[in-house]
Amino acid sequence: MYNYGDKLTSQIVKQMAKEYGADLCGIASMDRYEGAPKQNDPRYIFPAAKSMIVLGYRVHRGTFRGIEEGTHFIDYASMGYAAINQVEGPMTLWKMASDIEDMGWEAVPIMNINGGEAVNPVTGKFRENWSVPVEEGKPYPDVLIHYRFAAYLAGLGEIGWSGVFLTPEFGPRVRFNLILTDAELEPDPIMPQGTLCNRCKQCVRHCNGALSDTETVKVVLGGHTVEYAKLDPLKCEYGLKYGCDDTACPFEVEYPHVYGYGRAVEGGRGCMRACMVSLEQRGVLKNKFHNKFRTKPEWKVHLDEEHPYPEYIKKEYIEQGRTEDAQAYIEYNENENYGTKGRENKVVAQQTD
Ligand code: SF4
Ligand code: SF4
């Protein structure tokens, strides 16, 4: 831990954020949540909070490379997604929260994860018979903070047509977590919509159905009306697990879970990769590269066509008798590896004892 003196200021918070591993840090005053839906209002988590510190972590462009080439799909879901939310982000939160509390201010570190939300974070629907408020007037647990709205209120960027948060540094390649504190900090100005997103709609063109070209959603954030494309969340979920259409996923079975997350098999084909390519082409991002990300047309597969095994597979595996059916790995996961099937059997056995 560092010695930052006695007085906690926005400048010191930003210095801490950098030293402890965040790429971006913005600050919102809690009054920017005035008018927010009760189930999404962080002031119910910490009523004495005066400030929200929002931390951003870059997703490396390289984590998309394997998907762009169509040869390695796990890197984005792990290094570009789960590990940021579950490993890198919490490390920064821990250290910053300790320093802030050493200075006498309470710090509520909120990592990027979903738990017991009364409103389903994917569908946005209220879960009936899920939980009850602990007192009259309080929201149902868990209150769900929308990280992209928090990032907007902390001045870190804008919400693109895709609904994904765009920052001047990395475009859509960022994940967020946050700290609520009772320290009063200087807030950052909110970025006007249209600073980065020019509504090129490359996100929609490469998405295949989850993002609307014409229908929008409007939300009021900190007194500003923000409009972006309507998303079909279940089509997007399908895209994450299997590739947004059959031409975007080479796997004939469901891709294995990564850290308990969606697998992001199509690597945000529209809202992340196509958007990033568009923003880079326009030269509006601060994180510049020596070489272009996309150098050739995107690949497409056709699972319904015949895919005869090439010679090297025949020679090295089939002719040597070194093959197994896809089902064997699924059964291995259910039994020896994760043991989910074994557990089911155990529960049934206990119930019948
Ligand atoms: S692809 Fe274009 S329209 Fe879509 S979010 Fe990015 S900049 Fe905006
Ligand atoms: S993750 Fe895929 S399916 Fe979902 S909005 Fe982005 S491009 Fe569309």
| Residue 171 pLDDT class (50, 70, 90 cuts) | very high
Confidence check: pLDDT of 33 > 70: yes
Alpha-helical segments (H) within the chain: 10-19, 65-69, 74-77, 83, 89-102, 147-153, 202-205, 233-242, 275-282, 311-313, 326-332, 340-352
Confidence check: pLDDT of 352 > 50: no
So what's the pLDDT on residue 338? 65
| Residue 240 pLDDT class (50, 70, 90 cuts) | confident
So what's the pLDDT on residue 1? 59
Atom 3 of ligand 2: nearest residue by CA position:
236
CA neighbor of 112 nearest in space, from 77, 148, 141, 165: 148
Residue boundaries of the structural domains of the chain: 10-282, 311-352
Ligand 1 within 6 A of CB of 167: no
So what's the pLDDT on residue 23? 98
Query: What is the average pLDDT value for the chain, to the nearest integer?
Result: 91
Structural contact between residues 175 and 28, judged by C-beta atoms closer than 8 angstroms: no
> pLDDT, tens digit, for every residue of 131-153?
999 999 999 999 999 999 999 99
What whole-number percentage of the chain has pLDDT above 70?
93
> To test the ligand 2 pocket, which listed residue (266, 273, 276, 298) has its Cβ within 8 A of the most ligand atoms?
266
Ligand 2 within 6 A of CB of 244: yes
Stated as kind and residue range, the H or E segment containing 226 is strand 224-231
Measured from the Cα of 231, ligand 2's closest atom is 5
The token duo for 16 is: 């801490």
> pLDDT, tens digit, for every residue of 41-79?
999 999 999 999 999 999 999 999 999 999 999 999 999
So what's the pLDDT on residue 342? 52
Q: What is the dihedral of CA 210, 212, 216, 219, to 10 degrees?
A: 30
| Residue 335 pLDDT class (50, 70, 90 cuts) | confident
Tell me the residue length of the chain.
353
196 CA from centroid of ligand 1 (Å): 8
So what's the pLDDT on residue 350? 43
165-166 vs 158-159, strand pairing mode: antiparallel
The pTM assigned to this predicted structure is: 0.91
So what's the pLDDT on residue 90? 98
> To test the ligand 1 pocket, which listed residue (278, 282, 285, 294) has its Cβ within 8 A of the most ligand atoms?
278
Confidence check: pLDDT of 336 > 80: no
Burial 124-140 (b: 16+ CB within 10 A, else e): eeeeeeeeeeeeeeebb
